[in-house]
Chain A
């Protein structure tokens, strides 16, 4: 059997990488390698040609200035990303790109920044920043552990489900105790830390969806996740 290859596309790494989002790509790359697949990591920055053969998409958070730089470009590739999502391509978007995958971000001063509307969510900028360790729970992934740092508060519409329910911390907003969003195989979340290293169940979900879609089946070797388990245990006991 010829070697099977999975291609990961990192969206806007130049401008949207502020919260260790590189860690998410690294975890996907290594776990795929450890499972026996070849991995290609591509990057997409404003003005680049969008690659045709992509199996997983990962995007991160940025500063307000970084979001300003990518916004027009993101709207231009929005239709393409939505089509890929409807084709069940797995994606992970964190923080800033999570917000811009929604319908809009309304800043505290009232400015409306349009998103691509892949998620049925809207985000409102607030004066207060929600910062600290966070633990959420999901039926599918168990406890999801990370760190949040955002001033936008996100509210979910009907066509989207939350990624998790907040046990410790703030999450999407200060009202409904939800965190993140799910649409088909697309995951949006405020969590960094980075998200995937301490939540290998989510990494394996993205990997399995990508491999099954491309090659029909997915066989795994066992990865030693002992450090992740111990790091999770410590993280849940730390102060907010």
Chain B
């Protein structure tokens, strides 16, 4: 079938799917079936190539940052903004951006890809740049073991043609350098002081104290109260940020390192930092909605390190807390991970609502940390309504797994302004 026909058909399916209000990957699936070279041909035409961002935690927010930072440097950027980070999601996103002749008006593509899907993607479309954030235990039921996941990430870096940006503080990621021959390698990192406050899976239960001697291109040296200091281009730069949570701010260091690698000496540092100061978290990654005049924060949790960092980053004092745990395929089916998170910080204030398919697993987990629970309600919609009604005069925070977040956002969309996902 010719490209314009494929394009028109795909666009029609996309429009229909949006009207029905369901997932972002369906139109992409249709196009992928009809013309497997659709993505390849379209992306191959971009003058500055393709950038792939992968890793366990922080892909969506980091991708959003990289896009906004590149735009601050005058580039037109295509991205799979929807967070539907599979190949089909890329095809679906492309359909929204191309004209009827199938031309994409962009200089560069910045794509967030899930580790397993990235492996297939880079085989067809070798990226010019890649950024690997971290590898942590997540969805081990899908990928088997962390070391196997690290091998998938290795395949991304070895397929990259120009430069690879790596997390210096994650031993499995930093060591990916050893497999690279011709590519330039850039690092982002943390100062030794911050490193100690940053738990990794490997030093979760003890292990060697970490410190670093490999030089990094961008280092996060300080973060207090929305003010972050980065070491880059041999200078310290301090800037206010709208991002919350130290893991988001560390990912800002990753985004800066990647953008410096892409844009190089012509980077306008002033507009770069100004853009960074304005970046807000991606949906569900610490985003704040206003419900009944009170803030309601959604914090996505999908693995132990992310949940631990979330609990560490946001003080529960003064907040009503809800936890929503699903075990659908996208969440991971194994509940073991809840037992690698300590919930002591919630003991003083307790948890107002525990909800989701695995609400009782979560309640059981809290019982063993002696955290008081006001109410367990499996049904997400009912729990959300009661949570809001019973805590009217208080700021609220919801820790939720991925599919629980999608449901909660849809419900919240009925009562407040929620930015559409796809």
Contacts and interface: CB of A to CB of B under 8 A. Distances in A.
Interface of A: 13-14, 17-23, 26-27, 30, 43, 45, 63-65, 129, 131-133, 147, 149, 151, 192-194, 197-198, 227-228, 230-231, 233-235, 238-239
B357 interface: yes
B367 A227 contact: yes
A147 B145 contact: no
B206 A14 contact: yes
A234 B360 contact: yes
B360 A238 contact: no
Contacts of A133: 333
A164 to B, nearest CB: 18
Contact of B339 (A26, A151, A227, A235): A26
Contacts of A26: 339, 368-369
B146 A63 contact: yes
B147 A65 contact: yes
B358 A147 contact: no
B350 to A, nearest CB: 15
B368 A27 contact: yes
Given A13-B205, A26-B368, A43-B206, A193 B336 contact: yes
B207 A14 contact: yes
Interface in B306-336: 327, 333-336
Q: Please name the 3 residue pairs, one residue from A and one from B, whose CB atoms are nearest each other, closest first.
A: A23-B339, A20-B336, A20-B339
A23 B140 CA distance: 17
B4 interface: no
A204 B282 CA distance: 45
B148 to A, nearest CB: 9
A235 B361 contact: yes
A44 B119 CA distance: 38
B335 A193 contact: yes
Contact of B368 (A17, A64, A132, A197): A197
B97 interface: no
Given A17-B204, A231-B361, A147 B335 contact: yes
Contacts of B364: 197-198, 227-228, 231
Interface in B281-311: none
B222 interface: no
A231 B336 CA distance: 13
Contact of B333 (A13, A14, A65, A238): A238
Nearest to A234: B360
B147 A149 contact: no
B58 to A, nearest CB: 21
A149 B368 contact: no
A148 to B, nearest CB: 9
B147 A64 contact: yes
A188 B204 CA distance: 24
Nearest to B335: A193
Interface in B330-349: 333-340
B141 interface: yes
Contact of A64 (B145, B207, B370, B378): B145
Contacts, number: 100
B368 A30 contact: yes
B206 A231 contact: no
B132 interface: no
A157 B327 CA distance: 36
Given A63-B147, A197-B364, A230-B360, A147 B206 contact: no
Contacts of B357: 234, 238
9 contacts: A19-B336, A30-B370, A131-B144, A133-B333, A197-B339, A197-B368, A227-B364, A227-B376, A238-B357
Contacts of B360: 227, 230-231, 233-234
B380 interface: no
Contact of B338 (A20, A30, A132, A233): A20
B363 interface: yes
Contacts of A230: 360, 363
A197 B140 CA distance: 20
Contact of A20 (B146, B207, B337, B376): B337
A141 to B, nearest CB: 17
B138 to A, nearest CB: 12
Nearest to B338: A20
Given A197-B368, A231-B358, A231-B360, A238 B327 contact: yes
A130 B339 CA distance: 22
A45 B141 CA distance: 27
| Interface-centre pick from B145, B205, B363 (highest chain A CB count, 10 A) | B205
A193 B333 contact: no
B137 interface: yes
Nearest to B145: A63
A192 to B, nearest CB: 5
Contacts of A234: 357-358, 360-361, 378
B3 interface: no
Contacts of B177: none
B147 A194 contact: no
A184 B140 CA distance: 32
B312 to A, nearest CB: 17
| Interface-centre pick from A20, A131, A198, A239 (highest chain B CB count, 10 A) | A20
A14 B203 CA distance: 7
A18 B339 contact: no
B267 to A, nearest CB: 39
| Interface-centre pick from B333, B367, B368, B378 (highest chain A CB count, 10 A) | B368
